[in-house]
Amino acid sequence: MAALEQCDLSLMSLEDELTCSICLSPFECPVTIPCGHNFCQGCLLTTWTEPYRCPQCRTLFHTKPELKKNTVLSTVVETLNLRRVRSEVSMLAEEMETKEETKEEAVIRCDTCMEAEAANTCLTCMASFCEEHLRPHRENPVFRLHQLIEPVRDLLEHLCPDHHKLMDLFCSQHVRPICSLCLQQNHKGCLFTSHEEQRKLKELDLKDKLEFLNTKIVHNETIMYKMRDMEEMLKVSAANKKKALVVEYQEMHDLLTQEESIALNAVDREVETGETKLKLLMKKFAENIDHMSGSKEYINNLLSQSQTLAFLQVSCNLPAAANSDPYTPRIHLDSKKVIASEAFAVTLKEHLTELFKQPVESRLQLIKPETSDIPANLACAEKRSELLKYASVLTLDRKTVHKRITLTEEFTKASVTDEQANYPNCSQRFVVCSQVLASKGFSSGRHYWEVRLSCNNFIGIGLAYSSIDRKGPTSRLGRNAQSWCVEWFNVKLSAWHNSHETVLCDPNPKLVGVLLDCEGGKATFFNVADRAYPFHTFDLPFAEAVYPAFWMFSSGSSITLCKL
């Protein structure tokens, strides 16, 4: 029995660990996410929306993690719940037994007659009296100073255990009832009040707590009402979006149906044209057969002529149709319109198949890539090969690199670490921001380079003058007039210059290309995939040579200059 109670206490002590941080209740079907934290499956699915973050440690997941039930934790929670129910049932049974045992003892009797029910207890006489024996206290002035209270069963609770005197005072410092002798000895110098005053103070405190709880309850209920309204708004918004999507896809379906009908009608018209040609030719050949059959019958009649003189005098000429050889016409469904319709259907299917293989977020960019103001000879050129005409070989400058960044792969890769490297101090090195410049700057011509990203968060790619501050708080790329950058920060892509931010549509690239046109005064950033898609362009004044620049923050993230 003792071992069981000890086990129950061990489980009860784990109750905080077995509580969902979303609903603040014991786990119900607990699931574990990659960061190691556990939540109720229902709570997580109800509150989880993109971007997917851990509700407890705020870790970001780029894709929705697969949720798996934590069977061990589920077993522990079920065991705890079973033990709790058993404990509550046991306590309820004990309470019921106690009530039954004390039911007969609930009535307090008069200490004088021992029969009638007591009306009051006198703390001075230390006895309880019924109405009849209480008359002296009510009528005789001698008893005027006696303290009457509601009937009390155990008067010893009101006596000081040390001095056996009535505890008619309350020590505010030690928060306990005391007698007058206690006040002169152990509680000398303590602040004290009467029981009635202490009760008033405690009632005020409890009323304040009650008001506080009422306020909190009202606030929580208000939030719940707002959440219910939000839930309804979500449902209405979802219904409207569904209707809009149904309309759009229905229109696309109607367009495809219309195109299908046009293509089928083109084939039908080709068939009708071919059938008309065949019918005309068949009619002509049928007439030829009739003419030749008549001539054949006439010749047979001549051959059956018995009179030689008459036979020799009769002439016989073959019909013109007999002198021409019959031919099979070439009727086929290979007109330009039919061939084009068939090729379009096949090509459209292949295009849609490849498009649907891509994530929804990147499909729009593939269908309708963003345009930007770049040189005319490249504006219509989406092929990466045309940008590679201006390829430049770059390396990273060891004199400028921040001490949190390590350079590897022949100074073409920069990685962020938690430990600072032992670089020598110099005026060119970035001290505050984890940044690095390329070792080569440009002031004329066109130049193109590509950068491979390890992730699309807390990374910036840009350009900077060599005069950029290296030590101040404004030395970060884009936060001054000497630098420009595109920056992925907390799943948001922005363009920065002189502390001005422009939020961009995130193409989520793994490979970023930069085309610097010094004569045109522009720098264009591309999302490089099968082709190069421009997503932002800066206008640069080119007051001095500009250097490729890079900013990284998260430990483990890196950028790599590609060898073109």
pLDDT digits (tens, 9 = 90+) for 48-89: 877 888 888 888 888 888 888 888 788 888 888 787 777 777
Give yes or no: residues 469 and 497 share one domain. Answer: yes
**Domain containing residue 168:** 120-196
Give yes or no: residues 399 and 295 share one domain. Answer: no
Assigned domain for 360 exists: no
To the nearest 10°, the Cα dihedral for 11, 12, 18, 22? 170
At 19, is the secondary structure helix, strand, or coil?
strand
Assigned domain for 453 exists: yes
Assigned domain for 169 exists: yes
CA contacts within 13 A on the Cβ side of 446: 15
Question: In this structure, are residues 391 and 526 in contact, taking their beta carbons and an 8 Å threshold?
Answer: no
Classify the C-alpha dihedral 424-428-433-435 as positive or negative: negative
CA distance 529 to 512: 9
Domain boundary among 196, 231, 250: 196
pLDDT of 328 strictly over 80: no
CA distance 464 to 483: 4
pLDDT, tens digit (0-9, with 9 covering 90-100), for 470-523: 988 889 999 999 999 999 987 789 999 999 999 988 778 889 999 999 988 999
CA distance 417 to 419: 6
Residue 339 or 468, more confident: 468
Q: How many domains does the chain have?
A: 4
Give yes or no: residues 398 and 266 share one domain. Answer: no
Give yes or no: residues 306 and 217 share one domain. Answer: yes
Largest Cα span, the chain = 186
User: What is the pLDDT of the chain when averaged over all its residues?
Assistant: 84
Assigned domain for 107 exists: no
Give yes or no: residues 413 and 532 share one domain. Answer: yes
Give yes or no: residues 387 and 523 share one domain. Answer: yes
Give yes or no: residues 443 and 432 share one domain. Answer: yes
Domain boundary among 150, 165, 196: 196
Give yes or no: residues 53 and 148 share one domain. Answer: no
What is the layout of strands, in order, in the sheet containing 500-504?
Answer: 435-437, 546-552, 459-465, 483-489, 492-497, 500-504
Give yes or no: residues 549 and 428 share one domain. Answer: yes
Give yes or no: residues 179 and 202 share one domain. Answer: no
pLDDT of 17 strictly over 60: yes
CA 461 centroid distance within chain = 25
Which residues are 236's β-sheet partners? Answer: none
Assigned domain for 352 exists: no
Percentage of residues of the chain with pLDDT beyond 70? 93
Assigned domain for 101 exists: no
pTM of the model: 0.37
Which of 428, 262, 426, 418 is CA-nearest to residue 345? 262
CA distance 406 to 560: 12
Residues 6+ apart with CB under 8 A from 413: 407, 558, 559, 560, 561
Give yes or no: residues 418 and 300 share one domain. Answer: no
CA distance 456 to 453: 7
Percentage of residues of the chain with pLDDT beyond 90? 28
Q: What local confidence, expressed as pLDDT, does residue 408 receive?
A: 94
Assigned domain for 532 exists: yes
CB atoms within 10 A of CB 345: 14
Q: CATH number, domain at 63? A: 3.30.40.10
pLDDT, tens digit (0-9, with 9 covering 90-100), for 370-424: 443 333 334 444 578 889 999 999 999 999 999 999 999 999 999 999 888 889 9
CA distance 486 to 497: 9
Q: CATH number, domain at 180? A: 3.30.160.60
CA distance 282 to 383: 56
Long-range contacts of 5-10 (CB under 8 A, 24+ apart): 7/83, 8/83, 8/87
CB atoms within 10 A of CB 486: 23
Helix, strand, coil percent content, the chain, rounded in steps of 5 = 40, 20, 40
Assigned domain for 357 exists: no
Give yes or no: residues 268 and 394 share one domain. Answer: no
pLDDT, tens digit (0-9, with 9 covering 90-100), for 197-237: 888 888 998 999 999 999 999 999 998 999 999 899 999 98
CA distance 291 to 285: 10
